[in-house]
Amino acid sequence: MKEFNTLYLIVDENIAVITINRPKYLNALNSEVLIELSEAVDLIDKDPTIRAVILTGAGEKAFVAGADISEMKSKDVLEAREFSSLGNKIFSKLEKLRMPVIAAVNGFALGGGCELAMACDLRIAGNKAKFGQPEVGLGIMPGFGGSQRLARLVGNGIAKEILYTGAMIGAERAYEIGLVNRVVDSTVVLEEAKKMAQAIAAKSPIGISFSKKAVNEGTNMDLEHGLSLEVELFGSLFYTKDQKEGMSAFLEKRPATFQGK
Ligand code: HXC
């Protein structure tokens, strides 16, 4: 796999792990990280063996403490818009990967870091993790999708409280409001994310990818269109070997081996 300056990409047994690696700056997202993240997502997309992705941050202190404030400070209006647009495009590409992406949140997930975690399918947080959208304290607002994904995940009321106060919330509160799927001891976040990724990797990649598409695309439709999308996706799974294998294995009382075909 390609070497990067600001992140690691390791693929092992159908699971890719991306580790954002600027621990001295709490893994803050500068343009270089964004571009390398985009390249890593492209590599993952092209690798048919990968069935789940884990995204995490290097060091014990942070997942990602936001976009890089020292880089953003001197941007003019056009540059700020470009930066926001670049981040949004990359996060959307990550969100649309055919396989699930799990954020293993090992510390601060603030601003762009919280936004990055929200662009993932699932979030596992360490008990010391802290989430928040502190942008209003910097005279700005979220620009990598936070105003949209946070409201969709936790509802407008709670999202507005988080956006307007800029206050951090702990992992337990994040769990209560549905911002994270699970809270685990901070020493085992990556291990738990790997267990979840392995459970996902053992199931039908096509069944999972279509489930993902149905949820992601259906969320932006009315119920009637969402249900029609489900019917279409469900039906087309009957073209696949995974459907034949899954049902045969059940009836033959043996474990299924899915090829994602
Ligand atoms: C640049 C950052 C950074 C960031 C931390 N650092 N966060 N650098 N951008 N977002 C740097 C610090 O400047 C410091 O560098 C080093 O990382 C360690 O951080 P400290 O502040 O010394 O650590 P600590 O006192 O433990 O405080 C941790 C913290 C704090 C609470 C997470 O660092 C913090 O508030 N960071 C900023 C969080 C934030 O506002 N994020 C939102 C950014 S805006 P030095 O060189 O001093 O050692 C955003 C917008 C996204 O994300 C959309 C854009 C379009």
Residue 39 corresponds to which tokens in the numbers above? 């390249």
Pocket of ligand 1 (CB under 6 A): 25-26, 28, 65-70, 83-84, 87, 108, 110-112, 134-135, 138, 142-144
Per-residue DSSP letter, 25: G
Per-residue DSSP letter, 217: H
Average pLDDT for residues 56-71, to the nearest whole number? Answer: 97
Catalytic residue among 39, 79, 135, 192: 135
> In the chain, pLDDT over 70 holds for what percent of residues?
100
Average pLDDT for residues 121-127, to the nearest whole number? Answer: 98
Average pLDDT for residues 77-81, to the nearest whole number? Answer: 98
Tell me whether residue 230 is one of the annotated catalytic residues: no
Alpha carbon nearest to ligand 1 atom 9, residue: 68
pLDDT band, residue 173 (cuts 50/70/90): very high
pLDDT score at 136:
98
- Helices and strands in the chain, H and E counts: 11, 10
By DSSP bridging, strand 7-12 and strand 15-20 are: antiparallel
pLDDT band, residue 7 (cuts 50/70/90): very high
The chain-wide mean pLDDT, for the chain, equals 97
pLDDT band, residue 247 (cuts 50/70/90): very high
Report pLDDT digits (tens) over 20-36: 999 999 999 999 999 99
pLDDT score at 87:
98
pLDDT at 91 over 90: yes
pLDDT score at 240:
97
Identify whether the C-beta of residue 90 lies closer than 8 Å to the C-beta of residue 6. no
**pTM for the structure as a whole:** 0.97
C-alpha to C-alpha distance for 258 and 237, rounded to whole angstroms: 13
Structural domains in the chain plus CATH codes: 7-201 (3.90.226.10), 205-251 (1.10.12.10)
DSSP class per residue in 40-94? HHHHHHH-TT--EEEEEESSSSEEE--B-HHHHTT--HHHHHHHHHHHHHHHHHH
Identify whether the C-beta of residue 142 lies closer than 8 Å to the C-beta of residue 160. no
Report pLDDT digits (tens) over 44-63: 999 999 999 999 999 999 99
Catalytic residue among 115, 192, 224, 252: 115
pLDDT score at 26:
98
Tell me whether residue 217 is one of the annotated catalytic residues: no
pLDDT band, residue 2 (cuts 50/70/90): confident
